């Protein structure tokens, strides 16, 4: 039995948190290697771009993302889902590597202390949520915000897209693992996460609004950027 897939008790098991049994060890090792490259780059981002006075903001974002990931919101079809937070972290801190940094910390604590997400497959979870979520969220926000000149709808779409693409990548990983057939995996993961993405987009936009209202300077110069 897989401890993390505890379907009938009142658990807070979470979206795209892959449990150990879903991926063969050799593939899980490959994902870990890829994840470690991005973790190294995120540490370089922290060393080069993260200014000391922004550290509390990074820490609070990490804590908030951990907390909000514990809230599974019901969606149709007897399913639930929760926010990922990578797009928000990347947008507020001004770099996709900020999302990798924050989500890696969150995923380590979730996996090690709470059995939420596997240990051998943590690399895959870091790739999906931190790397895919962070890069899709950051660059779609950047492009959309430049096009429509309004950060909030841009953040909504970026949040939605970050979760949706991460879920599709997860479905492809499941297909490679032999766990899901590709087409059925893409359809069901796509369907559920298209809905869960609305939660991701909505909270990303609202949180960004609150942060920018409290600190308008962050809008002009995201925390990581050394202007």
From the CB of 2, what's the least distance to another protein, in Å?
5
Backbone phi, psi, residue 100, to 5°: -60, -45
Tokens of 105: 């910390």
Of 72 and 144, the one with the shorter C-beta distance to another protein is 72
Q: Residue 152 Cβ, how far from another protein at the closest point, in Å? A: 19
Minimum CB–partner distance for residue 148 and another protein (Å) = 27
CB of 203 to another protein, least distance (A): 10
- Is the Cβ of residue 76 or residue 146 nearer to another protein in the bound state? 76
Nearer to another protein, 79 or 142 (CB): 79
Cβ pair 91, 158 in contact under 8 A = yes
Reference 86, options 39, 122, 131; nearest CA is 131
Q: Where are the beta strands (DSSP E) in 145-218?
A: none
Nearer to another protein among residue 59 and residue 148 (C-beta): 59
Q: What is the spatial distance between Cα 168 and Cα 158, in angstroms, rounded to a whole number?
A: 15
Q: Closest separation between CB of residue 145 and another protein, Å?
A: 22
In whole angstroms, what is the distance from residue 133 CA to residue 103 CA?
A: 9
Do 102 and 85 touch, CB atoms closer than 8 A? yes
Which C-beta is closer to another protein: that of 144 or that of 169? 169
The rounded distance, in Å, linking the Cα atoms of 124 and 118 is: 9
Closest distance of CB 54 from another protein, Å: 7
Phi-psi region of 85 (alpha: psi -120 to 50; beta: other; left: phi over 0): left
Q: First and final CA of the chain: distance in angstroms?
A: 52
- Nearest CB to another protein, comparing residues 4 and 145: 4
Residue 79's DSSP bridge partners are 75
Report the distance separating Cα 179 and Cα 22, nearest Å. Answer: 6
């Amino acid at each position: 039995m897989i401890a993390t897939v505890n379907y009938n008790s009142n658990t807070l098991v979470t979206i795209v948190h892959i449990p150990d049994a879903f991926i063969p060890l050799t593939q899980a090792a490959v994902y870990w290697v890829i994840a470690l490259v991005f973790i190294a780059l995120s540490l370089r981002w922290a060393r080069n771009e993260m200014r000391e006075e922004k550290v509390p903001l990074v820490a609070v974002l990490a804590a908030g993302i951990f907390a909000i990931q514990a809230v599974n919101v019901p969606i149709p079809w007897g399913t639930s889902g929760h926010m990922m937070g990578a797009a928000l972290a990347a947008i507020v801190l001004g770099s996709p590597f900020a999302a990798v940094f924050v989500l890696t910390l969150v995923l380590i604590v979730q996996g090690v202390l709470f059995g939420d997400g596997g240990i051998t497959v943590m690399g895959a979870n870091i790739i999906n949520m931190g790397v895919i979520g962070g890069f899709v969220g950051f660059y779609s926000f950047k492009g959309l915000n430049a096009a429509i000149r309004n950060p909030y709808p841009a953040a909504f779409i970026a949040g939605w897209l970050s979760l949706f693409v991460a879920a599709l990548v997860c479905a492809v990983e499941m297909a490679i693992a032999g766990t899901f057939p590709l087409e059925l995996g893409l359809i069901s993961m796509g369907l559920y996460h298209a809905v869960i993405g609305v939660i991701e987009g909505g909270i990303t936009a609202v949180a960004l609004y609150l942060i920018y209202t409290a600190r308008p300077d962050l809008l002009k110069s995201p925390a990581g950027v050394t202007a």
